[in-house]
């Protein structure tokens, strides 16, 4: 049988030349099979890298959305504070819009009070006094309708720098009157709840 094989090799020299090529092909096939698992591993690593890149991009977008949301909330809060502040300032302006007018009319009020006091001390001019009182009451009612209110300070009241202006001091015998109001020279006034003129007073020393 060995002779037959040798004979066939002699008669078909292509078999002899083909055997090494078949061996090389078999060796190449085995090498490819060994390299395929490595290619699969490399493919998995590429997929993991792409997935990680997508996750990073998602986290970045989430951070940007959160930052934009925080910025919007801050702007909204600042706008609400601005709106409330301007609304309050507008109301205050409406309430005190006549402040200059009232301040200008106060000397007239002072003159009315002085004249009224002089007429009370006089026994004459009873009719004039009645007419004067009518004018004074009418004028006073108009001012009160506009929000003007006098301070109710009198002798013995506590001195308060938020409402009073001390123009002089007078020595007093009673210790309890020291630092307190002795006399009111000019009345103080409010326009609604705002002080528009301090009361000018004399305090005990």
Residue 178: CB partners within 8 Å, gap ≥ 6? 172, 204, 205
pLDDT at 188 (0 to 100)? 92
Q: Give the residue from 93, 118, 146 where a domain finishes.
A: 93
Q: At CA 113, angle to CA 112 and CA 119, rounded to 5?
A: 90
176 and 128 assigned to the same domain: yes
pLDDT (tens digit, 0 to 9) for every residue of the chain, 205 residues total? 444 444 444 444 444 444 455 555 555 555 555 554 444 445 555 667 777 788 888 888 988 999 998 889 899 889 889 889 888 888 878 777 778 778 878 888 888 888 878 777 777 677 677 778 888 888 888 888 888 899 888 887 888 888 998 898 888 888 788 888 888 889 999 988 889 899 999 988 8
28 and 85 assigned to the same domain: yes
d(CA 92, CA 99): 11
pLDDT at 19 (0 to 100)? 46
Domain hosting residue 74, numbered range:
2-93
Q: What does DSSP assign to residue 157? A: P
147 and 169 assigned to the same domain: yes
138 and 59 assigned to the same domain: no
Please check whether residue 204 is in contact with residue 179, taking contact to mean a CB–CB distance below 8 angstroms: yes
**Quick one: tokens of 165?**
């202006």
CA dihedral 169, 172, 177, 179 (to 10 degrees): 30
Please check whether residue 159 is in contact with residue 181, taking contact to mean a CB–CB distance below 8 angstroms: yes
Q: At CA 103, angle to CA 98 and CA 104, rounded to 5?
A: 100
Domain with residue 180: its CATH number is 2.30.22.10
Place of tokens 């006094």: 129
23 and 123 assigned to the same domain: no
CA dihedral 81, 87, 88, 89 (to 10 degrees): 110
Task: Choose among 204, 198, 199: nearest CA to 156.
Answer: 204
């Amino acid at each position: 049988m060995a002779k037959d094989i040798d004979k066939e090799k002699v008669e078909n020299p292509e078999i002899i030349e083909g055997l090494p090529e078949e061996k090389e092909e078999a060796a190449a096939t085995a090498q490819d099979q060994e390299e395929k698992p490595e290619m699969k591993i490399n493919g998995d690593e590429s997929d993991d890298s792409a997935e990680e890149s997508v996750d990073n991009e998602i986290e970045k977008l989430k951070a940007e959305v959160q930052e934009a949301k925080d910025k919007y909330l801050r702007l909204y809060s600042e706008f609400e504070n601005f709106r409330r502040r301007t609304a309050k300032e507008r109301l205050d302006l409406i309430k005190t819009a006549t402040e200059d007018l009232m301040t200008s009319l106060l000397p007239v009020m002072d003159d009315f009070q002085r004249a009224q006091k002089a007429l009370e001390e006089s026994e004459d001019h009873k009719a004039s006094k009645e007419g004067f009182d009518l004018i004074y009451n009418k004028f006073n009612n108009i001012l009160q309708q506009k929000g003007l209110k006098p301070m109710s300070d009198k002798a013995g009241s506590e001195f308060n720098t938020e409402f009073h202006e001390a123009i002089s001091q007078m020595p007093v015998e009673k210790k309890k009157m020291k630092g307190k109001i002795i006399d009111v020279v000019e009345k103080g006034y409010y326009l609604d709840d705002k002080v528009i003129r301090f009361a000018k007073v004399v305090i005990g020393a």
